[in-house]
Amino acid sequence: MLRREFLSVRSRLTADDLRGTATALAERALELPELAQARTVAAYVSVGSEPGTLALLDALRARGVHVLLPALLPDNDLDWGAYAGEGSLARIRHGGKMALFEPAGDRLGPDAVTAADVVLLPGLAVDARGMRLGRGGGSYDRVLARLERAGAHPALVVLLYDSEVVERVPEEAHDRPVDAVVTPSGVRRFRGDGRAADH
């Protein structure tokens, strides 16, 4: 039910809304020291009315950052490929799901994400503790489990609209809090004690 509500609000955004928020989101994200100093960032290409990521991907690439993008596997796990500009993306439709933009080049394997300094996560909401509400497909739960198994500790950052930072979202036992949320109006960090600290 909660997921439907957030998706419904997003569906009412106009093309102008999406363009404006994408630019602001990129600017705010680059204020985050972890992103500004990162050598490798695992990211994703926004689709539909998700907060736009292309401006941020291009800005990171222009800084010489190695940007990894996911490619959905049949079992809902994620493989990874390098982002080489908007022209390097292929539009892929997976079954009855929405079409995704994925890297057209070589696949680097699901473990490539463990080399990332920062992992940018999609989501529908985040709460005051840093708990993220995803779309429910489980792909990023698997990514987070893979990072944990590998002993990798990248900064986990979710990209959202301002209205999607809420008091509380439902959580499951395997859910892990993110380190920060970036919205078009700013960055909010979460401490390990579950309390927020505005940046």
Which amino acids are annotated as binding site, given as ranges?
A: 45, 50, 132-140
Handedness of CA 25, 48, 11, 96 (dihedral sign): negative
Extract the annotated binding site for ATP.
132-140
Other beta carbons within 10 angstroms of residue 152's beta carbon come to 15
Tokens 């890297």 sit on residue: 103
String of DSSP letters for 19-33: HHHHHHHHHHHTTSH
154 three-state secondary structure: coil
Extract the annotated binding site for substrate.
45, 50
